[in-house]
Amino acid sequence: MREILAERLKQCRKEKGFTQREVAIYCDITEKTYQNYELMTREPKVEILLKIADVFEVSLDYLLGRTEKKQVNA
């Protein structure tokens, strides 16, 4: 799961055109902390993961590799 999360974080960030710093600012964490998520050296807490999903406009299931659908059907 950690590898999938790291890869999807990178992919979503690049698709949105955000820098690691921009995502970190939105999530109220340091840039280094966010970098560690993409490098698989740390896993985000649930509260941070929710903020990341919001900024990327994707579901938690997508970030965690439980589905290939980026959005949950409304």
38-70 residue pLDDT tens: 999 999 999 999 999 999 999 999 999 999 999
Q: What is the Cα–Cα distance from 68 to 71, expressed in whole angstroms?
A: 9
At residue 17 the predicted structure's pLDDT band, cuts being 50, 70 and 90, is: very high
In this prediction the pTM is 0.91
Q: What is the Cα–Cα distance from 51 to 46, expressed in whole angstroms?
A: 9
**Residue 44: what residue type?**
P
| Percentage of the chain exceeding pLDDT 90 | 91
2-63 has which fold? 434 Repressor (Amino-terminal Domain) (1.10.260)
Whole-number pLDDT of residue 1: 79
28-38 residue pLDDT tens: 999 999 999 99
Domain ranges of the chain: 2-63
